[in-house]
Amino acid sequence: MNAGSDGTRTGIGAGSAGQDPAGQGTAEVARQLRDTIAAQFGRSLHIRTLDTGSCAVCEQEIRLLSAPYYDLHRLGFFFTPAPRHADLLLVTGPMVRAFDGAARKTYEAMPGPKVVVATGACALGGVYPADPFVHGNVGEVLPVDVWIPGCPPSPLALLQGLGVAVGRLAEKTPGLTFIAGQDIPGGAG
């Protein structure tokens, strides 16, 4: 990981733009760095999962990724039990406030460059948006790079999200309208 050895600890997406301690402010440098990181991550990376109070159904789906049917490892992704070895933090759950310290420590322990992926509706702020015991959104504590919706996200959705996180797949969400097909043309109601 050459991109990490020069002291940069930034992730890929816009979510961690403010985490750049080297102060390389220009957009051009940031773009080059992102390209480098994408090239580095494009081959193989290790995933650390972080459960911040989820109901464990997201974990079930994550576990299914390593089963032969989806076989995550053929794509060069591997799970690791130690954040020190991890490139990507897969966060599930609504970010329980009691877990703040552990979440920050886990993030700090990871070597750069690193990516944070928020997984599931809880982590995206859907299920517990106004609960006093949770933040209700992983983005309040960690700089999230990729958001994967779903309750739970299916293994295929997780694979696609991981592909987006390493820059191998284009995200299709911005192009979706969630308006049923026959109502799009015309517009006269």
Partner 1 sequence: MPFWFARGLRRGVVTTRYPARSDGSAAFLPTPPAFRPRQLTGQTADRLVAVCPSMALRRQDDVLIFDVGACTACGRCAEAAPDAITPSGEFELGATARSALVKRIPIRGETR
Question: Which amino acid would we find at residue 94?
Answer: P
Task: Give 8 or 160: the residue with its C-beta nearer to partner 1.
Answer: 160
Q: Is the Cβ–Cβ distance between 3 and 37 less than 8 Å?
A: yes
Task: Give 4 or 94: the residue with its C-beta nearer to partner 1.
Answer: 94
Kindly state whether residue 165 participates in binding partner 1, applying the rule CB under 8 A: yes
Q: Is the Cβ–Cβ distance between 143 and 11 less than 8 Å?
A: yes
Rg (CA), the chain: 17
Task: Give 23 or 186: the residue with its C-beta nearer to partner 1.
Answer: 186
Q: From CA 86, how far away is CA 63, in angstroms rounded? A: 17
Contact string (CB under 8 A) for partner 1, positions 131-160, x = contact: --------x----xxxxxxxx-xx-xx-xx
Kindly state whether residue 111 participates in binding partner 1, applying the rule CB under 8 A: no
- Contact region with partner 1 (CB under 8 A), list: 2-10, 16-24, 71-79, 80-88: 71-79
Q: From CA 35, how far away is CA 32, in angstroms rounded? A: 5
Q: Which residues pair with 89 in a beta bridge?
A: 48, 116
Residues engaged in binding partner 1 (CB under 8 A): 12-15, 74-76, 121, 124-127, 129, 139, 144-151, 153-154, 156-157, 159-165, 168-169, 171-174, 176-183, 189
